[in-house]
């Protein structure tokens, strides 16, 4: 069986940076904690916990003097403030590209624009961004955008600023924008889809189109892994999403001469190598 590995598979810049910050914090000897999962990969979180970084699920669990690491997907303003009020030292691993989205919605609202985000309303990144302004509208795609835009019939000139979840699929962004451009006359567009996401998605599509089967490696909670799987399914009839080598679907792959392999942006290199 020939295996072709996508060049972009694995850690993106933001995840690599968060993991490096976690390792440095663990090595510093300070009392260190991670607020939630700093990246979407249970194996990596378990490895970091093994280095001494305890996981807490809310700022209220932090104690005075703790060093608290914030996840790559970012946290809300309320979480930052709650940690500061508890006398903790914050080590912010928010990916700079996510921090930019937080800044855009904050500034847009201050300028009197209505902030709109296209993305998954339950995803931690979106929830974090929501916490940096007071009235963020979140739509998962064109159908929701359309029904909202239709309610603006008498206020099509409402000033709007639209941003994307950094891992959004480009087609969803483009089709949502098409509707907004048609219905809204005062629209400011911020294309905040991350290049790392875009590169992974286009490479996965090209690879999926030329192999017999595709394997996508990543945590089931990872949005970008899920999107890679969806994109591969548009180009290849046999696509398997797995978390680690133990889940390799031998039966499904048995008559595949060429298998493509890609991985989400939070999948560690060691797991990809094992697969
Ligand atoms: Fe940042 Fe893009 Fe990764 S937003 S966390 S570099 S997918």
* pLDDT, tens only, 76-130: 999 999 999 999 999 999 999 999 999 999 999 999 999 999 999 999 999 999 9
Q: Whose CA is nearest to atom 6 of ligand 1?
A: 14
Lining ligand 1 with CB less than 6 A are 12-15, 72, 95, 97-98, 166-167, 194, 196-197, 265
Contact call for residues 96 and 119 (beta carbons, < 8 A): no
pLDDT of the residue at 154: 80
Question: Out of 44, 75, 125, 243, which one is annotated catalytic?
Answer: 125
What proportion of the chain, given as a percentage, has pLDDT over 70?
100
Q: How many CB atoms lie within 10 A of CB 170?
A: 16
Residue 223 predicted with pLDDT over 90: no
What proportion of the chain, given as a percentage, has pLDDT over 90?
93
* CA–CA distances in Å: residue 190 to residues 22, 24, 104, 222: 30, 33, 8, 23
Backbone angles phi, psi at 2, to 5 degrees: -90, 135
The reply to whether 125 belongs to the active site is yes
Q: Whose CA is nearest to atom 1 of ligand 1?
A: 14
- Best residue among 37, 44, 167, 194 to mutate for probing ligand 1's pocket (most ligand atoms within 8 Å of CB) is 194
pTM of the model: 0.90
Residue 137 predicted with pLDDT over 90: yes
- Best residue among 102, 104, 196 to mutate for probing ligand 1's pocket (most ligand atoms within 8 Å of CB) is 196
Ligand 1 atom closest to Cα of 224? 7
The pLDDT tens digits for 146-163 are: 999 989 878 889 999 999
6: tokens are 């996508």
Residues 6+ apart with CB under 8 A from 51: 22, 23, 26, 27
Burial class (CB in 10 A: 0-12, 13-18, 19+), 175: middle
């Amino acid at each position: 069986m020939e295996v072709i590995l996508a060049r972009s598979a694995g850690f993106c810049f933001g995840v690599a940076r968060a993991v490096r910050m976690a390792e440095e914090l663990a090595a510093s000897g300070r009392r260190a904690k991670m607020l939630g999962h700093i990246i979407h990969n249970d194996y990596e979180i378990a490895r970091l916990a093994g280095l001494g970084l305890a996981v807490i699920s809310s700022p209220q669990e932090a104690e005075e003097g703790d060093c608290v690491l914030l996840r790559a997907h970012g946290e809300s303003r309320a979480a930052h403030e709650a940690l500061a009020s508890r006398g903790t030292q914050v080590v912010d691993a928010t990916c700079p590209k996510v921090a930019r989205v937080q800044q855009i919605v904050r500034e847009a609202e201050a300028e009197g624009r209505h902030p709109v985000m296209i993305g998954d309303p339950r995803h931690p990144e979106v929830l974090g961004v929501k916490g940096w302004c007071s009235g963020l509208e979140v739509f998962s795609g064109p159908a929701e955008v359309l029904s909202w835009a239709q309610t603006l019939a008498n206020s099509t000139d409402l000033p709007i600023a639209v941003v994307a979840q950094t891992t959004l699929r480009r087609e969803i962004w483009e089709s949502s924008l098409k509707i907004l451009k048609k219905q809204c006359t005062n629209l400011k567009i911020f294309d905040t889809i991350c290049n790392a996401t875009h590169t992974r998605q286009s490479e996965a599509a090209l690879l999926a189109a030329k192999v017999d089967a595709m394997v996508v490696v990543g945590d089931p909670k990872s949005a970008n892994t899920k999107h890679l799987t969806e994109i591969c399914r548009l180009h290849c009839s046999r696509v398997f999403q797995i978390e680690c080598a133990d889940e390799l679907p031998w039966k499904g792959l048995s008559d595949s001469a060429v298998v493509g392999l890609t991985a989400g942006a939070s999948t560690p290199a060691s797991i990809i190598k094992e697969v």
